[in-house]
Amino acid sequence: MSKLVTIYGGSGFVGRYIARRMAKEGWRVRVAVRRPNEAMHVKPYGVPGQVEPVLCNVRDDDSVAAVMQGADAVVNCVGVLNELGKNTFGAIHAEGAGRIARIAAQQGIANLVHISAIGASAEAASEYARTKAAGEAAVQQHFPAAVILRPSVIFGSEDGFFNRFAGMATLSPALPIAAGGTRFQPVFADDVAKAAVKGVLGEAAGGIYELGGPEVKSFRALMEQMLEVIHRRRLILSLPRPAAFLVAFGFDVLQFASFQLIENKILTRDQLRSLKSDNVVSDGAKGFADLGISPVTVGSVLPDYLWKFRPSGQYDEMTSSARNLRKNGA
């Protein structure tokens, strides 16, 4: 019988790439999520019955243990960018990660891969980064041989980074951003998945790997590149920190006042604090090279999924060519 991997959060942005690759490796894939009915998109990744969504709440021991039964390896992709209800940073990033690692050790799981984030530190300014660090510590305490992956900002067709700002650019003549000088090292979701697969297969030594793409660019430079891809000219407004704080505070208050019925998907105060630090691979850190993976560039992937934000969508190149022909009198 083929081996089984349980992927917590396997229907999410990064998790689905890992699930797809593990299915291609011939493994059975158990996708543990809060809402299995909303995770049916993972089933076609393999043959019938190979990839199955199952109900799980990472805040509960019994729930985590039940979906881990019989697994040969475990991957934890669960994370939140904004706290909603009981899904706080501490409950998910720290306690949830520790719970999965502890139960994996108890069940004798061979390999554990944990997805964290660059910038995870107990001294970080943001609660997001501090709880990520607490989660890493808990994982290493219970499962010392775990492979911990720290990606920079992740891009791909389902991302909430380039897609969000490209969508904003279609609606407004200006593109406001906070901390435009902060540097990122964007990494393709499928490259992160390749690294995770190495961990699942036991082809990577335990420890922390910082994953960044081949290019380091400022927030502003990434927005300029995005605008070039979608063929739009927009004024990029780098908000002063006081102004950015007022925006973040306002949307946080709106979320609170609406009893969290309106989620702050624009900018939170915690996200603003995280933007104080560059999001790049540390000097001397283990990374893609140690895993034998060559990451792809942002420019080689963005046109594949941002074309829908162009003025004429997939036909924008033809429209532009026809316009040039008319101008030249052809």
Average pLDDT over the chain, rounded to whole? 95
Residue 245 is assigned to a structural domain of this protein: no
pLDDT over threshold 60, residue 225: yes
Is 70 exceeded by the pLDDT of residue 323? no
- Does residue 209 form part of some domain? yes
pLDDT tens for each residue of 231-256: 999 999 999 999 999 999 999 999 99
Whether residue 1 is predicted with pLDDT greater than 70 in this model: the reply is no
Task: Decide if 172 is inside a domain.
Answer: no
HSE (CB half, 13 Å, CA atoms) of 227?
Answer: 18
Q: State pLDDT tens for residues 42-84.
A: 999 999 999 999 999 999 999 999 999 999 999 999 999 999 9
Domain limits for position 202: 4-158+184-216+278-296
pLDDT score, position 314: 79
Q: Is 49 left (phi over 0), alpha (psi -120 to 50) or beta?
A: left
d(CA 328, CA 211): 47
pLDDT band at 319; cut points 50, 70, 90:
low
Q: How confident is the model at residue 183 (pLDDT cuts 50, 70, 90)?
A: very high
Q: What is the DSSP string of 280-311?
A: SPPTT---HHHHT--PPPSTTTHHHHHGGGST
Give the CATH number for residue 95.
3.40.50.720
Residue 157 pLDDT level (bands cut at 50, 70, 90): very high
Backbone angles phi, psi at 186, to 5 degrees: -55, 140
- Do the domain assignments include residue 99? yes
State the pLDDT at residue 313: 85
The tally of domains found in the chain comes to 1
